[in-house]
Structure 1
């Protein structure tokens, strides 16, 4: 493990939208004459902490910009590799420009520094909830208003259309080829989902009590979690897949463009204040079958990720990344990253968090204010960087 590097805080102005940029010398060196000078290896990393959000350089995890913000904060992909959406307690979703220009060249892209990171437009959304990216659209869901704001992923700065549910609820919406998939329910009871297009309902199902969470598979199928299984939408219709237990809640999912299988969590204690599950689910959207796998360790809702080849990756409370073959659930590798930990009862409290992009995983360790970088194919921790703040959520642009 690399020697931890102490990151000093950047001097901040009084304006909340201010930020400081790293020098060009901090950027990754060019690797060939065909690549532009000063290019970065990929999108920047954004991390939340109690008091703000911080933009980090992908390779070094050096601070590029720091934005003081009040309240509990979350970060979500905008989908264009440049922006992220910050979920705030009082303003809704605020767009954060990480200051990276993305030049797409078919099978690869170049990433270039492009000005200072800055906070931008705020999209009003009482109780901001899930953000989804699919089919070229980014959708912002408001639990408090029951609205879905649909934006163009390539330019996530303007709302193209807005859907309003009959009743506000803790839900989610995702744009599919057939239409907009939206959950149904009220603040007291969530029941299912439907797909709407131009005001018409294409398909619907009320067989999903406690509906929560969403992921799309590589074949375009969408999976919605229920308290007794999942709903799968593909080829214009919903299919219910039941859990093996009468109460088998799947509320958090992770999809992969490389796999028809969706990774899900799995809880069986309906009355628990906080259940610490040790089984995960692998949901095959082609065979419409669900498989549970016993990890032998618990995990949290921030523990699920997918590898470049579609591997199912779970950060366990034993401190290790468990890399599984998504097809059969067999263990491909176990990578020790952080010290053993316990999930806090309060879901807003920091806990080790996993983010995966390609062959690289980033894992936070709040107890030591450290972010670890893991190369998944080699099974090695390649760097560990200590911040001067306690990291909570993190994501790449």
Structure 2
């Protein structure tokens, strides 16, 4: 009898030990980021590291509207609000002049641009991840605004590519390129490249081999919009020029390594530059008089999405342009309504806000409209574009889309997969720009 009781107790102890080994835990770890930033040691005590590990069978549940976690940076004419989507509340409010927001390559810092006053500051969003082989550690801290300013004559276009950021100053035609690793809030970054061009509304794109693409307008007859692109080597010398892109406006990079492409919108065509081949492809637009003036692409996708418009034929203004990078072809999609310029995408889908107030989801490989979700009231016509003009803005985090509505001064959260939309914040000033950065989520693998 004693031997039987001992056996039972031993069996029960084994079950308890096995259960304990399968229990996930969450702990804190000292933050190991750049020690040059002010207050890093104090802040790192609050850094949150997610150690949750799940077996493959535990991945059945996916994020819905109320479960998505993101840190949102919303600009308005007098400053910035920073929100946590978890609690739908403002955690920080900064007073400063803002015309636009641009995300850095590290997906952590944000360029806060005051174009008219020629001042750029750097905002540390306070959320980032560090890869550790088969898993990542996620950190959350308080946001910090840089103690310095980057000065320029009307800094306008900020382009991230190949771990660098190129800033184009319209007023001077100057280009400055910064390494992602140099971006901290305490120490001003030194540019790794500086290129002088003729003043115009231009753009520059860093390439992975150290070269840079810079928009081109003739020195003898400068135009407000460029007419092509120039390729500069790592020493800043102009190697090649492609001038057949009238009214150049809009840029995007995309495709995997073997099909990496940089695209530029033009009147009558889209210009594709292929870095590996050092060559171009000219994609003629399907309709006479049409123009592409904005483009969106990501490195993980072999598609790009862009606007499509015409001064001569207003019926074309409800169309979008879809570029297939592998085939080097272009097609158009009729949305059935005009739309706002802020378009976002992931590897498989594009998300577009129609002026009828609905969010459209487009499958990139087929060009089909997969869904339409009502979000805001129909949008009234406004004058101007960008640079602080209160137009709706979109941001995407893991299939959840955030939409600002300047007309009602609200921020909306949309789950298009389930047709759900809700207002999560009301402001006292019209929002003008939006960036969303994903926070650590134990259900996100």
Q: TM-score, normalised by structure 1?
A: 0.83
CA distance in structure 2 between the partners assigned to 1:264 and 1:106 by the alignment: 36
Where structure 1 has 5 or more consecutive residues not aligned to the other structure, the ranges are 1-22, 35-39
The structural deviation recorded for 1:96 is 1.3
Cα contact 1:43–1:111 (8 A) shared by 2: no
Q: Distance in 1 between matches of 2:250 and 2:73?
A: 22
Structure 1 match to 2:242: 205
Q: How many residues align?
A: 364
Structure 2 unaligned spans of 5+: 1-42, 55-66, 438-445
Question: Aligned equivalents of 1:115 and 1:331: distance in 2?
Answer: 39
Residue 292 of structure 2 aligns to a residue whose secondary structure is coil
Instruction: Specify which of 345, 348, 358 is matched with residue 306 of structure 1.
Output: 345
How far apart, CA to CA, are the structure 2 residues paired with 1:384 and 1:43?
13
Q: Is residue 115 of structure 2 the alignment partner of residue 76 of structure 1?
A: no
Q: Does 1:238 align with 2:280?
A: yes
Matched, 1:46 2:73: yes
Q: TM-score normalized by structure 2? A: 0.75
The equivalent residue for 1:367 is 407
Answering whether residue 324 of structure 2 is matched by residue 264 of structure 1, we say no
Q: 1:226–1:301: structure 2 CA closer, same or farther, 3 Å change rule?
A: same
Query: Within 2, Cα distance between the matches of 1:329 and 1:79?
Result: 28
Q: C-alpha displacement at 1:396, in angstroms?
A: 2.5
Q: Distance in 2 between matches of 1:141 and 1:269?
A: 27
Distance in 1 separating the partners of 2:163 and 2:322? 26
Q: 2:358 aligns with which of 291, 295, 320?
A: 320
In the alignment, which residue of structure 1 is the partner of 2:369? Answer: 331
Within the candidate set 190, 194, 204, 1:163 is matched to 194
* Alignment-derived partner of residue 227 in structure 2: 191
- C-alpha RMSD over aligned residues: 2.9
Are the structure 2 counterparts of residues 332 and 73 from structure 1 closer, same or farther at C-alpha, using a change threshold of 3 Å? same
Cα distance change of structure 1 residues 163 and 27 upon mapping to structure 2, 3 Å threshold = closer
* Displacement of 1:189: 4.8
Task: Give the conservation status (yes or no) of the 8 Å contact 1:97–1:120.
Answer: no
In 2, distance between residues paired with 1:134 and 1:29?
Answer: 28
More helix by share: 2
Q: C-alpha separation between the residues in 2 aligned to 1:107 and 1:204?
A: 44
Q: Following the alignment from structure 1 to structure 2, what is the Cα–Cα distance between the partners of residues 319 and 124? A: 38
The answer to whether the Cα contact below 8 Å between 1:92 and 1:125 also exists between their aligned partners in 2 is yes
